[in-house]
Amino acid sequence: MTYYQAYQEGAIHLPKAFLDHFAGLFKNADDFLVWLYFLDNKDIAPSEIAQKINKPLAEVNQSISQLQEIGALKLTFHSNGQDMNFDVSEAFRHLDQLSGQLEGHQQAEEGDNPLSELIQAFEAEMGMITPMQQEEIQALLYEDQYEPETIRLALKEATLNRKTNFNYIKAILKNWRNDGVSASRQELKQEKNAGPEPESADNFFIPLDGPWSH
């Protein structure tokens, strides 16, 4: 799921990527502040924003114009032709392009890179994940430098323990790294644990015609 899709579905929290790509999204902090007010309330009046941030209305209107110019804000009118609606969604689409999420999502559908394959694996176990969760997977892969197969096995371990959350998965990976356990050893362990259970003592058979019967 891309940032834009998450926003459209009402499941967006302002991601860290906004700070990482701030210069590519906004001209200055004042424009970003005005944009945040429209993110919170798309029907808010510019005059109300000016009052809340203690800025002249002319400066707020200038920020609105600049946001429109860079494509971070879209202005539409209601059916009465007077009331305005401010759409901030295009900023999330731009963020997808800057952060590579859009390309990564398209590649995820094709399954042709480690990150996309991991995203598919997590969504198979956890359902649709958010862009912030995608960032966590990306961090495990490229910042913490866990092997894709190790991450996949940690996900499997968490699923077996019915604790499919990122904190638990990260704790598993950290413990494995501290113990110096390889992915191949973990895979063998999981296969062993998933194998047939040994027969219980209740099914142990003692023949009656042995030497102990005399």
Mean pLDDT on 97-112: 54
74-77 and 84-87 as β-strands: parallel, antiparallel, unpaired? antiparallel
DSSP letter at 100?
T
State mean pLDDT over 144-160.
Answer: 91
Residue 151 confidence (pLDDT): 93
If one compares 154 and 5, the residue with the highest pLDDT of the two is 154
Parse the chain into domains and list their residue ranges. Answer: 3-95, 114-193
Give the right CATH number for 3-95 from 3.50.50.60, 1.10.10.10, 3.40.50.150, 1.20.120.1630.
1.10.10.10
Question: Residue 102 pLDDT more than 50?
Answer: no
Least confident of 54-63, 117-126, 169-178: 117-126
Q: Can 3-95 and 114-193 be said to share one CATH topology?
A: yes
E runs forming strands in the chain: 74-77, 84-87
Question: Dmax over Cα atoms in the chain, in whole Å?
Answer: 109
Q: For residues 152 and 121, is the Cβ–Cβ distance under 8 A?
A: yes
Collapsing DSSP to helix, strand or coil, 27 comes out as coil
Q: Is the pLDDT at 30 greater than 90, yes or no?
A: yes
Q: Residue 36 is encoded by which pair of tokens?
A: 């945040």
Residue 84: the pLDDT is 72
Tokens of 61: 């209107």
How do residues 191-212 score in pLDDT, each as one tens digit?
555 555 444 444 444 344 444 4
CATH architecture of 114-193: Orthogonal Bundle (1.10)
Write the single-letter amino acid at 108: A
Q: What is the pLDDT of residue 208?
A: 43
Full-model pTM: 0.45
* pLDDT the model gives residue 16: 77
